[in-house]
């Protein structure tokens, strides 16, 4: 395998990982309501 063979494979793996990260972020953001976020801010609690 040469460098030209390895680079597309690494790019594909990187894009798959990025897609997984963005999917997890989307799921996390859609599970919490705006009211809950405002409540956490008022209570000065992380989360």
Confidence at residue 29, expressed as pLDDT on a 0 to 100 scale: 84
Confidence at residue 33, expressed as pLDDT on a 0 to 100 scale: 86
Q: With helix as H, strand as E and coil as C, how does 1-47 read?
A: CCHHHHHHHHHHHHHHHHHHHHHHHHHHHHCCCHHHHHHHHHCCCCC
Distance CA 6, CA 32 (A): 40
**Which portions of the chain are predicted below pLDDT 50?**
none
Indicate whether this model's pTM tops 0.75.
no
Confidence at residue 14, expressed as pLDDT on a 0 to 100 scale: 98
């Amino acid at each position: 395998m040469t460098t030209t063979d390895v680079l597309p494979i690494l790019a594909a793996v990187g894009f798959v990982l990025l897609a997984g990260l963005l999917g997890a972020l989307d799921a996390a953001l859609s599970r919490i309501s705006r009211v809950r976020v405002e409540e956490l801010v008022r209570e000065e609690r992380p989360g």
